[in-house]
């Protein structure tokens, strides 16, 4: 593996919103989920830099060129009584893979989690993405098969929200 010696990882700035959205689209293409990307520059700008940011992003650059990104937010563990850092997405462009950039992004986020006294750092990975799973495990991450993720979206979410909550 050739290390990216001129790697810079920094917080995304408002001027990076279009770049972050482009990287999200590239990630979605890789995951065969491009049809699910409905985010817009406006929505992403509000989520990352609005009055109450919901998430934050990092940009990894090699020689000034965008090589990848991570998007993360804080969650909370009731059992630990502490915040956690949740990595929503991480992506390294194919031309930059194999240079330690993904590992550097995860190290950067782990340091951030430690600095912020987070009780854990976690993320999900698609079950078919064996290269990513193998990579994460080399860093000491462990799959958590004891939990099953659930998701409710679209019409089902609206139906649930419309239910009478009094019985």
Instruction: Render pLDDT for 123-156 as a digit per residue (tens, 0 to 9).
Output: 999 899 999 999 999 999 999 989 888 989 889 9
Q: What residues are labeled active site? A: 136
Query: Mean pLDDT over residues 58-70, rounded?
Result: 97
Q: How far apart are CA 124 and CA 142, in angstroms?
A: 11
Which structural domains are found in the chain, ordered by start?
A: 7-162 (3.40.630.30)
Q: How far apart are CA 27 and CA 146, in angstroms?
A: 27
CB atoms within 10 A of CB 158: 10
- Output the pTM of the full model: 0.90
| Tokens standing for residue 14 | 């408002």
Identify whether the C-beta of residue 46 lies closer than 8 Å to the C-beta of residue 102: no
Identify whether the C-beta of residue 5 lies closer than 8 Å to the C-beta of residue 70: no
pLDDT at 98: 93
Among candidate residues 48, 50, 47, 23, the one with its CA nearest the CA of residue 37: 23
Over residues 3-55, the pLDDT tens digits come to 667 999 999 999 999 999 999 999 999 999 999 999 999 999 999 999 999 99
């Amino acid at each position: 593996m050739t290390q990216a010696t001129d790697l810079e990882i920094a917080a995304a700035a408002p001027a990076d919103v279009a770049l972050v959205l482009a990287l999200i689209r590239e990630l979605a293409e890789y995951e065969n989920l491009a049809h699910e990307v409905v985010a817009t520059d406006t929505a992403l700008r509000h989520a990352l830099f609005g009055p109450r940011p919901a998430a934050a992003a990092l940009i990894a650059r090699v020689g000034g060129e965008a090589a990848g990104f991570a998007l993360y937010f804080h969650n909370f563990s009731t059992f630990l009584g502490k915040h956690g850092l949740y990595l929503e997405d991480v992506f390294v462009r194919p031309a930059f893979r194999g240079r330690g950039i993904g590992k550097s992004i995860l190290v950067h986020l782990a340091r951030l989690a430690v600095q912020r006294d987070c009780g854990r750092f976690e993320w999900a990975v698609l079950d078919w993405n064996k290269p990513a799973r193998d990579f994460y495990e080399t860093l000491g991450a462990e799959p958590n098969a004891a939990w099953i993720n659930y998701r409710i979206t679209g019409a089902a979410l609206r139906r649930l929200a419309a239910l009478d909550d009094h019985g």
